[in-house]
Amino acid sequence: MTASMTSRQRVLAALKREPVDRTPLCNPTSVATVELMDLVNAPFPEANRNPELMARLAATGYTELGFDTIMPVFTIIQESSALGCKIQWEQKDNWPTVRMNEPIWREPDDIKVPADLCTHPDTTCVTEAIKILRKEYGDEVAIVGKTMGPWSQGYHCFGVEPFLLMSLDDPGKTKLCLDRMKEITIQFGQAQIDAGADALCLPDHATGDLVSGEYYQRYLRDMHIEFAERLSVPIILHICGRTVDRMEYIAQTGMAAFHFDSKNAPQESMDIVKDRISLVGNINNPETLFSKGPEAVNTEVTRNLEAGVQLVGPECAIPLQTSIENLKEISRTVRTWHRDQASN
């Protein structure tokens, strides 16, 4: 056991699989809820477009819920807005979405990274929020940014169906598109690093329901290796769904961590990745955090701790109506479990 660490030290150590004083609570994706929005008067959709509100709402993950991270990029559409996608910003109780049935690109030559990608109001909002948080919290807590991967951008900018069909019909064209879109990931990620992010979540939705492990290896593994090399902070890859068929490839990328879904058992996932990449997650959102009570949360958190998962947290952005009681239970369980381990 190491001496007492700050939240930031704890998270950064766990991302490198170094010793920690206790398992860090990490949210690479949003833990915002409608009740927390009221608590700090920072409701959606404004909290996705105003840096002060974004920072204030994000900080509640640390100040109220006991996480060791603050992650201000609640949505998956900030850079898509900067690219020109049509956004439905929705209301306080729902997530903004890209209108993917109105794609902005059809061919590789359509892909243009706009000069104002990182100065657009919806991307600047993120970088400004990170600066605010860095200034307010200094080195005490890990600040995690988010930059979307090219596969997710493909869905947003080409539409899900056209993009998947392209990947079937014309792998060369698909690779060209991905190669061009990866610059969006790099530029927005770098802007957040420059603003003070300690780590980046990189969602790339090659999800278990639509894309096979072989697809991941063919289209994305090498690109993810490149991200890990070019972005200078620890990268946390996020892919939803059942992903054990690609965890071997993911473990080869050099990324710091994989944010994994509850459809993958903690122990089986740890057995695959071994010590090559940290795992973070995998508390179920819709059934456990949203619909059940603290006892069920406790059971899932404990299962992850016993499997040696390096960072514990929700599997994905939590439902906005999730109860505060359940979210606090994650922190309570981690602390109690470590206290019990120490006394045994």
What does the angle CA 114 – CA 134 – CA 331 come to, to the nearest 5 degrees?
110
User: What dihedral do alpha carbons 341, 269, 69, 337 form, nearest 10°?
Assistant: -10
Question: What is the distance between the alpha carbons of residues 213 and 250, in angstroms, rounded to a whole number?
Answer: 10
Q: Give φ, ψ of 144 to 5 degrees.
A: -110, 125
Question: Does the footprint of another protein cover residue 37 (CB under 8 A)?
Answer: yes
DSSP letter (8 states) at residue 237? E
For another protein, the binding residue among 2, 16, 18, 93 (CB under 8 A) is 93
Binding test (CB under 8 A) with another protein, winner from 102, 169, 209, 340: 209
Single residue of 285, 288, 298, 304 touching another protein by CB under 8 A: 285
For the chain, the first-to-last Cα distance in angstroms comes to: 14
Give the residue with the Cβ less far from another protein, 15 or 85.
85
Nearest to 223 by CA among 208, 209, 237: 237
Q: Does 35 bind another protein (CB under 8 A)?
A: yes
Range in contact with another protein (rule: CB under 8 A) among 7-15, 97-105, 135-143, 304-312: 97-105
Of 168-176, 185-193, 273-281, 321-329, the window that binds another protein (rule: CB under 8 A) is 321-329
Output 17 or 35, the one with its CB closest to another protein.
35
How many Cα atoms sit within 13 Å of 337 on the Cβ side? 23
As a whole number of angstroms, the distance between CA 175 and CA 111 comes to: 13
Q: Choose the stretch contacting another protein; rule: CB under 8 A; options: 9-17, 46-54, 126-134, 284-292.
A: 284-292
User: Do residues 237 and 214 make contact, with C-beta atoms less than 8 angstroms apart?
Assistant: no
The answer to whether residue 156 forms part of the interface with another protein (CB under 8 A) is: yes
- Per-residue tokens: 20: 């920690």
For residue 218, the minimal CB distance to another protein (Å) is 18
CB of 246 to another protein, least distance (A): 15
Beta bridge partners of 259: 238, 280
Give the separation between CA 253 and CA 59, rounded to whole angstroms. 30
Cα dist from 134 to 139, 146, 302, whole Å: 7, 15, 31
Which one of residues 205, 221, 224, 246 is an interface residue with another protein (CB under 8 A)? 205
Choice between 43 and 51, CB closer to another protein: 43
Instruction: Establish if 36 lies at the interface with another protein (CB under 8 A).
Output: yes
- Residue 321 interacts with another protein (CB under 8 A): yes or no: yes
286 binds another protein (CB under 8 A): yes
> What is the x/- site pattern for another protein, positions 236-275, by CB under 8 A?
----xx----------------------------------
Question: Is the previous residue joined to 266 through a cis bond, with omega within 30 degrees of 0?
Answer: no
Name the minimum Å distance from CB 100 to another protein.
Answer: 6
Among 9-17, 93-101, 130-138, 225-233, which window interacts with another protein (CB under 8 A)? Answer: 93-101
> What are the E-state strand segments in the chain?
69-70, 87-88, 97-98, 142-146, 199-203, 235-238, 257-260, 278-283, 311-314
Q: Is residue 231 part of the contact set for another protein (CB under 8 A)?
A: no
Cα separation, 108 vs 135, in Å, equals 40
Q: Looking at 95-103, 167-175, 181-189, 229-237, which segment touches another protein (CB under 8 A)? A: 95-103
- Does residue 328 bind another protein (CB under 8 A)? yes
Residues that bind another protein (CB under 8 A): 30, 34-39, 41, 43, 63-64, 76, 91-95, 97-98, 100-101, 152, 155-156, 160, 205, 207, 209-210, 240-241, 285-286, 290-291, 293, 316-317, 319-321, 323-325, 328
